[in-house]
Structure 1
Amino acid sequence: MFQATTGPLVSMALLSLDLDEAARRLGVTIEESWDAHGAVRAAFFTLDGTDFVVTHHEGDPPGTYVWVRKCGPVDPAARTGVLLTALGVGTEAVSYSTWGIGTDLSRIPGAWSRSRRLPAESHQRFWENFRDRTGMYVGRVTYDGVTAYLAGYDHAGGGVLLNGFREWLATAYGVGDNLVWMAQVVLIVFPEGRPESPWSQDQHMRAVDGLVALLDEFFQHLQDPADASPGTG
Structure 2
Amino acid sequence: MTELIYVPDAEGDWEPATEPQEGGRNPAWQASMFQSAAWPLSSLALLSVDLDAVARRLRLTLETSWDGHGTVRAAFFVLDGTDFVVTHHEGDAPGTHVWTRKGGPVDPARRLGGLLAALEVGPEAVSYSTWGAGTDLSHVPAAWGRGRGKPVWSCQEFWENFKKRPGMFVVRVSFETVTGFLTGYDVAAEGALLNGFREWLAARLVSGWNLVWWALVAELVFPEGRPAEPWSHEDDQHAVGGLFRLLDEFFEHPVGDPKAGSPTLQT
TM-score bin, normalised by smaller chain: 0.3 to 0.5
Higher relative contact order (CA 8 A, sep 6+): 2
TM-score by length of 2: 0.40
TM-score by length of 1: 0.46
Larger Rg: 1
